[in-house]
Amino acid sequence: MSISHYLQQFQPHIHHLFSHALTQKKWSHAYLLSGQKGTPLKEIAIYLAKSLVCEHGQPLADDTCQTCRRIDAGDFVDLHVIDGQEASIKKQDILNLEQSFSVTSLEIFQRQIYILHLVETMTPEAVNALLKFLEEPQQDIYAILTTESVHSLLPTILSRSQVVTLKPIEQSRLVDLYQQAGLNEDDAQLASFFYTTPELAKAWVSTSSYVALKKATMEWLSLMGQKVSVMKLYFRQNIIPLIQDNTLAEQWFSWMIVFLQQSLRLQFHQKVVLKNFRSALLLLNDTVIDHDVLVTLTEETIHRLRLPVNVPLLLDQWLIRFTKGMRLL
């Protein structure tokens, strides 16, 4: 699904807002795209950048002209993308950006654009440098910022940009969409918690780490109700070795939170999304003493992953505390 199509279908207010901004020549100097984790923020930011310089905008980018294709290929000198997903955005990144803008536009459109993806990862020094930059908007320089954590941003950033919020998409709609895109039911249900486009969902479930981890996790959950030593042994032998880095660990802990929250819904006879995982959810309800305690424990563990930690050790510490919150033999 193209981003243009995605915006029309799922975020029509955004499609309308930017179409209007272009036709009325009211494009702001800085936008901040805010969306939940899993929304294609960077892809939308790039699409909007294309729309500013597209040769045959309608009015948004057509995705097919030479300029659009050059942007897709990362070969358009007047677009700068700094990706906070890869590493936190530093002061020097912002200074380099300003430096490159002091040179006159090299392309025929005379519009220079920068994208700062995930501004919540900026260091305080970088934020200060950016604020100065945003304070004195220059003609024909356009900023598109993105965030998955709008509440953690300084009000000064919010006040200097126009905040555009992506709507959360109803989960049952996502599950259907993912199945139409070729995912099986299990994967579609799981992915609907973490991704909001079929492409992202598909990319995720086709990684070998996902496949192995899902299998091991389901086996591990099926051991609930058995001896605590059995559960611990299985976890240490089959799950810890699969979780090599912080990103994967964060993802896996997020699954656990989803499982706990879904099982709690089931206990209170509320609708669940993980319909295919009903037996695991029921087992959790039989075994867990207090769901909230384990959710909090897992959230705290995710928080600790943001610091330099030994991931296998952290997983082991979590395991010990997690199993204490269960009725096990």
d(CA 174, CA 248): 23
Smallest gap, in angstroms, from Cβ of residue 62 to Zn ion?
Answer: 4
Nearest to 230 by CA among 220, 215, 239, 240: 220
Q: Which is nearer to Zn ion, 78 or 120 (CB)?
A: 78
200 interacts with Zn ion by CB under 5 A: no
Sheet of 141-147, strand order? 79-83, 112-117, 141-147, 30-34, 162-165
62 interacts with Zn ion by CB under 5 A: yes
CB-side neighbour CA atoms (13 Å) of 176? 5
Smallest gap, in angstroms, from Cβ of residue 182 to Zn ion?
Answer: 29
Nearest to 213 by CA among 195, 229, 235: 235
Instruction: Check residue 137 and give left, alpha or beta (phi > 0: left; psi -120 to 50: alpha).
Output: beta
54 interacts with Zn ion by CB under 5 A: yes
Q: Which of 65, 154, 158, 293 binds Zn ion (CB under 5 A)?
A: 65
Stretch that binds Zn ion, among 29-37, 56-64, 117-125, 243-251 (CB under 5 A): 56-64
Smallest gap, in angstroms, from Cβ of residue 95 to Zn ion?
Answer: 31
Q: Which of 14, 32, 68, 79 binds Zn ion (CB under 5 A)?
A: 68
Size of the site for Zn ion (CB under 5 A): 5
Stretch that binds Zn ion, among 59-67, 151-159, 214-222, 255-263 (CB under 5 A): 59-67
Residue that has been written with the tokens 């709008």 in this structure:
150
- Cα angle at 130 between 114 and 101, to 5 degrees? 45
Q: Which is nearer to Zn ion, 49 or 119 (CB)?
A: 49
Stretch that binds Zn ion, among 34-42, 52-60, 135-143, 240-248 (CB under 5 A): 52-60
Q: Which is nearer to Zn ion, 74 or 124 (CB)?
A: 74
Query: Can you give the C-alpha Rg of the chain in angstroms?
Result: 23
Q: Are 193 and 171 in contact (CB under 8 A)?
A: yes
Stretch that binds Zn ion, among 12-20, 60-68, 155-163, 195-203 (CB under 5 A): 60-68
Stretch that binds Zn ion, among 50-58, 84-92, 101-109, 311-319 (CB under 5 A): 50-58
The 306-325 site mask, x for binding Zn ion (CB under 5 A), equals --------------------
Q: Are 45 and 144 in contact (CB under 8 A)?
A: yes
Say how far residue 14 (Cα) sits from the centre of its chain.
18
State the chain's maximal CA–CA distance in angstroms. Answer: 72
134 interacts with Zn ion by CB under 5 A: no
53 interacts with Zn ion by CB under 5 A: no
d(CA 56, CA 54): 6
Strand partners, 145: 32, 116
Stretch that binds Zn ion, among 61-69, 199-207, 272-280, 308-316 (CB under 5 A): 61-69
Interacting residue ranges for Zn ion, rule: CB under 5 A: 54, 61-62, 65, 68
